[in-house]
Every structure is written in C-alpha cells, then in structure tokens.
Structure 1
C-alpha cells in the first residue's frame, strides 16, 4: 500500500540548480558530517579487530567471529523504528546525541571483554553486549544526522545529504581499519576499544551548542511497518548491495591471512577510498539525474568488484576488487534514499529513512554469521561470490523499478 507522496517534493527531476548553488546551511551540514566521521571511527576501528580478537585471542570459530561483527548491525535493524520515531517526534538532534552516548557506552563495555582474567565465553558475552549498544548508537546517530541534514538544506538536496553522510561513514571505515589494527597490535583489544570510546565524546561536544531542526510531535503517523512496506523494493536494493561490503568488513582480513598475503588491513582502506572518491566527485548525481540510473550503474560495478576478489590470485587483484566494490557501493544508498524521500511526507521522513536504512542493516547483520558458515565449509574466497550474486540480483530489481517508473511517467 503506497503512502501519499510528499507534496512539497516534485515527482519529476529536480531543477538543475538544486545541487549546484551553495546553501547557507552548508557549513553546518559539513560540521555534522565531520562529527559523524569522528564518531564512526568507533565502528570502523572495531570491524577488522573483532574477528581477530574472537578467533585468535578467544579461540572461537569463524561463525562466532561473524556474529561478533554482525550483532551490532542486527541491533541497528531492531532499533531503526525507535530511531526514526524519535527523530520525527523529538528532533534529529536528540536522536543523534543519544546515539553518540550509546556509542561511548558500547565501546567501554567492549573494552571489558579484552581485560585479562575472563574466560573466553564470558569475554565473548561481554563483547556482544557492547556490540549491541554500538548498534543502537549507530541507528540513532545515522537517522539523526540524516534527518538533521535534510532539515537544514531541504528535501531537494536529500541525495547530497545522503552522499555526504555516506562519505563520512565510509571515510571512517577507510582509515578506521588500519588504525584499529595498529592500536590492537600496540595496546591490545581493550586499548583499541578505550580509544574508540573517546571519539563519540568529541562528537557530543561538537553538537552541544549546534541548533537543531524542527520536530513534528503532533502529526498523524501510519504504522512503521506500513511506511516500510511502501519502500520495500527500494530497501531490497540496498540490502543486496550491502552484502558485498559486509563480506569485506568481516572476512577480507581473514581471507588475506588465510592466503598468507600481507597488508590485510588495507581491504577496508581500498573499499573506503573508492567509496569516498565517488561520493566526493559524483555525490550530486542522484539529485541531478535521478536515483535509479545511478543505482543501476553502481550495482554493475559492485558485481565486477566482488567477482574480482573471488577470483583473485594475488593481493593486488583482491585489493583492486575491494576498491571497485567501494566505487560501486558508494552511490546506491543515497540514490535509492533520494527516491524514498520523494515517496513520503516530511513528518514521516525519519521513520521512512530509518526503515530504509534497516534493509542495509539486515545485510550487514546476517552476512557475518552466514558467511562464516560458508567460509568454514568452502573457504573465504567463496564468500565474495555470494556478494557478487547479491549485487547482480539488486541490479535486476533496480532495472525493474526503473522500467516501472518510466511506465508511470508515460501513462
């Protein structure tokens, strides 16, 4: 069942100057992106470290390593409805601030898992609690910052906001992986998590005196699931594209170590570099040419990148595949998110974007443990074959949406 479209947002392509002229709130938007970058290092630093900690230090298997990574994303899925409703009703600043506090709490609890004297299973249980809180923090911060940014510059620039937010997140992933591994080698798991807890605190200080945007406390709202149903196919596309990134985040380092290749920490760097490069150079494209054409081209590139990792016979080819995957994944979320913003009214925007983001979280949460099972039986390389297949299915769905959109416009 479709929701009424946002009457303030045109159903055709935006005006050419919608993304070219500098908006007066651009400086505050950039500050929000910087806060997101700094705080998301808490996540980026932990992604390559958690699997090594679980398999190496705790002596548990790949499935548990995948669960240690993926449980944070599952937590994010389960709390997207809360984050979207809170952002709509109490304001995006409230959601972002609470999320930063949960980031800090989750990192500090994860720190305890790395302290000496705990049994492996006790340490793993403590780690899971910390990862759950980090997932809640991610849900609140991402939805809050996106809603805050769109509230500052308007829905006509929603693609630009989503592109900038993604550049901050994946930029943090690009540098967070090597930083996390370096801190792990120098200070151990507890030390790496302790430094990760400081960074969201800096974000809280940065937004403390920053003005928020208006909330919609009294507006009538349909159920969260009705909102999600109206954007289901758009969400399916970002879910399928997210499998490739989740495979890189959870198993690229272990894949390199299994092959005896050096520079394992550069996988996320290669991915993030490609991701940020496209966001910086082409972040305006969804607002300029439409979301679906951008998503279709991007999914094709991601498919090629995943195939290249799967077939790689040396580390340079695998890193090139990670870079191509980053190029492909970069614009899919903002491209499809722009389409979602056009489908809903302003007072439902937080809930819609929360539900939309949850589709990607599902990919991140389930890929870790399921790919761990596959890695145990068929090797790490075949995990990336699954990523390639998922991206190809997403491409088919996006082509179908594009065809349906064209038929609706010509009717």
Structure 2
C-alpha cells in the first residue's frame, strides 16, 4: 500500500488549503478506515460469496438480451458486438449512489459495476462508498441479499437504466459510462422502446454538458434523489472497461458538429497540466514546460475549460503530452494523435489500451516518484517528443 502517495505532507497541505482543517481531518480518518479496515473486509466477504451475485454468463443465459448491429463488417466491430449488449432484469433495484443493480432475489448484477473478469477489485470501492453515504444497515442488507428491506422510491419508473459512474470522476464517466448511450440507442432502434436514464441528482457541469454532447438528452431523464429505485424491468448495458475502436468512432461521430475542420487541420500540440491537482503534479513543471515550448506545445488546465472546448482541442491535436490523469480521457475525441503519458512509479495501462484500440501512436515515459507527484526526466522527454513531431 502506497501510504507515501496517500498521506504525504504535500498532499495534506493541499487538502488543508482547499478544504480547511475540519474537512481534512474527516477525510483522513475516512481514508485510513477505507484502506486499513473496509477494503480487506469487503474483499474477504466477496471471496466468501457475499453479496450473492449474478455474473455475466448467468445474466446472458437468464435475461432478455439485445446486441447492437455492427457498424461495418470489420473483424474489430464483430468482436465489439460480441462483447457489448443490453439485458433486461425484471424487478431490479438500482442503488442510486453507485449505479449498482440487484435482482429481485437480492443478487448483485456484476455487470452493473464491473467487467466480467474482475468482480472484487471493481465492486469494493463503490460498495464501501454506500457504507459512508447510506449507513451500516443499508450495506448489511446489500451483503445479505435482503434488498426488500431497502426502501425504494415510491414513484419508480419501468425500463429504467442507471447512467451513474462508479466514481464521480471525468475518466469513469467518459470511458465507462457514456459509451452505454450507444448501446441504448441500438436497443431503442431494435425494440422501439425508450429507456429512461437515471442520472446523479446534482451532476456537475462537465457531466451535464458531455451527456448533452453525446446524445443523452435524446432520452427521458430522471435525477436520482432517493437512495434506491425499483424498475421493472431494469435496463443493464454491458460494462465498458475500456473504449474499443468502434466506440472511438462513435465518440467522434457524436461530436462531429464541434469538430469543424479538425479532421484535416490537426496541428495543435497539447500539454495537459495537472498544476491544480492534489496529486500527480509534475514537480519540475517549469523545466517540462520550457522543453515542450521548444516543440510548440501549449499548456492547458482542462478543468478550466468547458467540455465542448476540450473536445475541439483534442480533435485538433496532433500530439498530446501529460501525466496520467482523467484529462487524457479526451483522446477519445482525437483522430490519429500521438500520446506521451508521464508516470512516476505507479504505471497504469488505461490510456495505452485506448490508444491501441484507436490506432494512435503511444509512448510511456516513467519518471521518479516524488511523494504524491512525479519528476520527469526532461532529456528523455525531449528524445520522446522528437520521435513524434517533425
């Protein structure tokens, strides 16, 4: 466990500056209890079969299932369609805080929170969140399968689909949640039935704007103001652990009105700055900026830009450099971009997989971990950038 990253003095100071001592203290106690107590406890419960669950193979065998028509006849799209689907769960219950779905018999529909092969790792944190949000009795009922003890909203809607990210984060919303809209479109075209989207009660601007840009407002929308919703049936799109080539084309097609001449004029070079973030800042940012300036890169703090501007920016980019973080999710709007992702010691493959699916040139540059931040080897950065720009 990387306590140097989670509890470094530098990160604590940033939290104090942003939230004050009281909220910082509460957050620290919660973080430690999550990491030291509840994560291992919940993992043990999962290993012992709690909560009872219905995995993908049973879901497909026992539920009414619809698959999207291929975009074209390519092998890539055929594989995509084999892995993407919409199922209907009769008498389902939706937990509004996480989007988790339970059957009427109290079984967790794994597909609502996790790829089929990674149940424990993906479901632990969202269900721990329910402990802090909804209380121990709520979570006890979940783990024992006693969903009938939960109190659903009285005015629940049939054919309801949760569009709620597991974590309230730009990455999980963009990469795991928004692609479900394509499946729901295909479901509506095939069946003539229109699901209602259950979205967070108080979505931030970036969530509202991206939902509109990707076609979410074409569906009826309800805001989740109660902890639990009944739906008969509940609509369950397959979980998207990453973006496929077909979904990348869908992102570009859905935002075509914003792209202008981006498909022919891709000349921008972007540095995604995390200077305002609490962690994974570049410690030697000034040196990195000086080096990238020599190659025509412009720095951007994406949290300061509306989603539409982020879409246009990445659509016009020929090269993107940035530390690992949610802002790189915007490569789904790019076309034939070269990506250089910066890491400390904690290397992840999220954006490498997206780049591979989209056919992008991708480079991983590992630096030195510096507490919650990273220090970039500027000479290696120059060497890498020279490979991707003229």
**TM-score, normalization by structure 1:** 0.25
| Structure with more contact order per residue of length (Cα contacts < 8 Å, sep ≥ 6) | 1
Higher helix residue share: 1
**TM-score, normalization by structure 2:** 0.26
Larger Rg: 2
